[in-house]
A = this chain, B = another copy of it.
Amino acid sequence: MVEPKKEKKERDFSQWYDWILERAEIYDYGRYPIKGMGIWLPYGFQIRKKTIDLIRDLLDSTGHEEILFPLLIPKWMLEKESEHIRGFEEEVFWVTHGGLEELDQKLALRPTSETIITYYESLWYQSYRQLPRKLYQIVSMFRYETKATRPLIRLREVTTFKEAHTIHDTFESAEQQIKEAIDIYKKFFDELGIPYIISKRPDWDKFAGALYTIAFDTMMPDGRTLQIGTVHNLGQSFSKAFNYKIQLKDESFDHPWQTSYGISDRVVATIIGVHGDDNGLVLPPNIAPTQVIVIPIPSSDESETKSIIDYSRKILNELLESKVRAKIDDRSEMTPGEKYYYWEAKGVPVRIEIGSRELRTHNLTVVRRDTLSKITIGEKELINEINHIMNSIQNNLYERAWKDLKQKIYETDNLNEARQYLDKKGIVEIPWCGKESCANKVMESLGAKSLGTPWPSQKISGKKCPICGEKAQTTMRYARQY
């Protein structure tokens, strides 16, 4: 298969990324007078919505229940879990006034909802019989980022924060939930064709208050990994902090166990970054707001042009009747070439070109966005062929993205080599003894950060930590990170 050009994207990802957000009308960023906030434009909003629908379906079908908590959290509630608040206090936006009055308590804009949810769980669930419960909400979340912000990647208002929170009567049940959560996220990213590596974050980089954190990372075209999903086993930290106990099966009382897991706007950033090319966005058909664009090509003969447009509408209607999300672009003020350019930038998976020849032969010219290759299909086979092409695009995006990521993962115990791999926009896996001090030295030497250890955990043998020379327990992954 022909691969479309990716030179600009690879050469200057950051510039390309900003260009595509604007060109494909996804997200208006950089003009809002508050740093780190932007506007979802209609086309971007539809991509976001279809993506949310995917994760919602996965959660609903596994017994998760959608809820909605208030945006504002009183300071005392956020402070209940002390590690947790230490992890967030420098990043919280505070509401201090209502109208012209000063409020009697400071209110935080939700940075995450573990505390508020635990508070309510303690009102709702008193017995193991009511558990497990799996709740989630899709909301805006706020972080007063001091680092440089980037649209959809590092924001002060994350508008697509899907946070799930579960509660269990036993540790084992919570552990089981972690597995389910990871499976759900795998399916989710698989449906988007986004490749990932799953790591157990090192202790020094886990979620504030958690026992441990499992993270999904993907690789952006600039060679930096992006965290796109996290799954936390919270243990009993929050239930203990709220002094919350439930009755267990054996009639004793204990603090319940909790997990939480989240997905953000970054999903859309990765759809753009991983699949896009120099012509613009490339959307997986399952989340493309428009899956097929029909473009009539006018003839020099006016009455023929009319027939071409009528025929194009007929094709459009057939697609719509078969539930294909199709549109026609019959704007008279644009040339076909301009239209190709326009819809390619928007990443529409399939283009059907209809001109004099197509009208005559009833064979349609189809261009697929992922490879920009042309295919001729007979009108009679329209729906079958279009569905076939969309499946093929879906699979191709998945496969080429996975292939690309796998090629970027290197194993070595040599730090010089590791540095070269990182320069080649890679991720390196280095034997690790398990000591934080050794990982720190590797990070410093590489100018990279630790992603964590592979999940599920892998025992390795016969390897040594390149820092202390002791026997390696596992491997640690390092990369340049967002």
Q: Which residues of chain A have a CB within 8 Å of any CB of chain B?
A: 28, 31-34, 37-42, 45-46, 48-49, 65-72, 74, 76-77, 89-101, 106-107, 109, 120, 123, 135, 140, 144, 146, 157, 159
Contacts and interface: CB of A to CB of B under 8 A. Distances in A.
Contact of A41 (B38, B67, B98, B140): B67
B40 A67 contact: yes
Contacts of A46: 66
A401 B66 CA distance: 30
Contacts of A159: 68
Contacts of A72: 34, 37, 93, 157
Nearest to A133: B42
Contacts of A74: 33-34
A94 B95 contact: yes
Contacts of A135: 42
Interface of A is mostly: mixed
Contacts of A91: 99
Contacts of A94: 95-98
Given A97-B94, A100-B89, A32 B123 contact: no
Given A37-B70, A39-B67, A96 B99 contact: no
Contact of A66 (B33, B37, B49): B49
Nearest to A98: B144
Contacts of A32: 70
A98 B93 contact: yes
A23 to B, nearest CB: 15
Lowest 9 CB-CB distances: which A-B pairs, in order? A98-B144, A42-B65, A40-B68, A37-B70, A94-B97, A90-B99, A99-B144, A96-B96, A45-B66
B71 A157 contact: yes
A334 to B, nearest CB: 13
Given A40-B67, A70-B32, A100 B109 contact: no
10 contacts: A39-B68, A45-B65, A70-B157, A71-B71, A90-B99, A93-B98, A93-B107, A94-B97, A95-B95, A96-B96
A417 to B, nearest CB: 40
A68 B45 contact: yes
A482 to B, nearest CB: 20
Given A66-B42, A91-B99, A71 B140 contact: yes
Contacts of A90: 99-100
A121 B280 CA distance: 25
Contacts of A42: 65-67, 135
A319 to B, nearest CB: 18
Nearest to A34: B72
Contacts of A48: 68
A343 B94 CA distance: 42
A144 B90 CA distance: 26
Nearest to A123: B31
B95 A99 contact: no
A95 to B, nearest CB: 5
A416 B312 CA distance: 68
Contacts of A67: 39-42, 45
A31 B120 CA distance: 9
Contact of A39 (B40, B70, B93): B70
Nearest to A70: B37
A193 to B, nearest CB: 24
A135 to B, nearest CB: 8
A300 to B, nearest CB: 27
Contacts of A34: 70, 72, 74, 107
Given A33-B77, A45-B68, 18 more contacts: A32-B70, A39-B69, A39-B70, A40-B67, A40-B68, A42-B65, A42-B66, A70-B157, A71-B71, A71-B109, A89-B100, A92-B99, A93-B95, A93-B107, A94-B97, A95-B96, A99-B144, A101-B144
A74 B39 CA distance: 15
